[in-house]
Amino acid sequence: MGRKWNNIKEKKASKDANTSRIYAKFGREIYVAAKSGEPDPDLNQNLKFVLERAKTYNVPKHIIDRAIEKAKGGSEENYDELRYEGFGPNGSMVIVDALTNNVNRTASEVRAAFGKNGGNMGVSGSVAYMFDATAVIGVEGKSEEEVLEILMEADVDARDIIEEDDAVIVYAEPDQFHAVQEAFKSAGVDEFTVAELTMLAQNDVELPEDAQAQFEKMIDAIEDLEDVQQVYHNVDLGE
């Protein structure tokens, strides 16, 4: 699959931990998930998923509790879920997911982050067709063979199972996310190095050194935006 998910996650967490941005982003996502349904993860699959992701990033309990209590308190703060698609240097492709309470502001900021760094926003559908929605779940302490056996016993399908560094990463259809996790939990595994629903590029591309530097600057600028939750792309950054 060409992705080092643990390295990507650790790099992002390390970068975000310095400014606590990751906690703010999760706080917003948890609030939206809790407000959209029951504020109980046992009754709200969206909230359960977000909390599983938050756990892999070591989001503090008080951040989680505060976001859920805010939703329980009937806050009138509302967010729209938006997806932007665009192109970076040398035709590289980018998808940006955002949660915003000001659509015009977010669109303007995302467009500027593209435009100032050699990219441009595209229309809806211009990029997404080159990506596949994918569940990515990683565990440590198991071999590929053991993971395959766990999934087979639970009658859960996976697209691929790959050993990466000290972890085994399972790639599956998005609707199999919880089934994969439950299979692991039934086998006594309840700690995950990665637990993501992502957009995985069908084909990664490599950029010349100067274009890659510009691309990374563009991605950093987009990820720095307060309303941006996730950024996906098709560039092999060599992690």
d(CA 84, CA 102): 15
- Cβ neighbours for 34, distance < 8 A, ≥ 6 positions apart: 44, 47, 67, 68, 71, 72
Q: Is 107 in the same domain as 208?
A: yes
Strand order in the sheet with 167-172: 160-164, 167-172, 131-140, 194-201
Q: Is 26 in the same domain as 139?
A: no
CATH code assigned at 33: 1.10.10.200
* CB burial of residue 41 (10 Å; 0-12, 13-18, 19+): buried
- Is residue 104 assigned to a domain? yes
* CB burial of residue 108 (10 Å; 0-12, 13-18, 19+): exposed
- Which residue, 50, 72, 94, sits at the end of a domain? 72
Q: Encode pLDDT of 128-184 as tens digits.
A: 999 999 999 999 999 999 999 999 999 999 999 999 878 899 999 999 999 999 999
* Interhelix angle 5-17/21-35, nearest 10 degrees: 100
Q: How confident is the model at residue 98 (pLDDT cuts 50, 70, 90)?
A: very high
Q: Is 120 in the same domain as 217?
A: yes
For 173-193, the DSSP string reads: -GGGHHHHHHHHHHTT----S
Number of structural domains in the chain:
3
Q: Is 108 in the same domain as 225?
A: yes
CATH code assigned at 196: 3.30.70.980
d(CA 71, CA 89): 40
Q: What is the extent of the structural domain holding 142?
A: 131-201
Q: Is 63 in the same domain as 11?
A: yes
pLDDT over threshold 80, residue 218: yes
Q: Is 115 in the same domain as 227?
A: yes
- Is residue 238 assigned to a domain? no
- Is residue 93 assigned to a domain? yes
Residue 128 in tokens: 């997404």
Nearest to 64 by CA among 50, 77, 76, 74: 50
- Is residue 239 assigned to a domain? no
Q: What is the pLDDT of residue 11?
A: 55
Q: What is the pLDDT of residue 201?
A: 94
Q: Is 67 in the same domain as 50?
A: yes
Q: Is 125 in the same domain as 20?
A: no
Q: Is 114 in the same domain as 211?
A: yes
| Furthest C-alpha separation in the chain | 51
Q: Is 136 in the same domain as 181?
A: yes
Q: Is 50 in the same domain as 18?
A: yes
Q: Encode pLDDT of 105-144 as tens digits.
A: 999 999 999 999 999 999 999 999 999 999 999 999 999 9
Q: Encode pLDDT of 8-25 as tens digits.
A: 555 555 555 555 788 899
**How many CA atoms are closer than 13 Å to the CA of 119, on its beta-carbon side?**
31
Q: What does pTM read for this prediction?
A: 0.89
Q: What is the pLDDT of residue 47?
A: 93
Task: Quote the mean pLDDT of the chain.
Answer: 90
Q: Is 10 in the same domain as 37?
A: yes
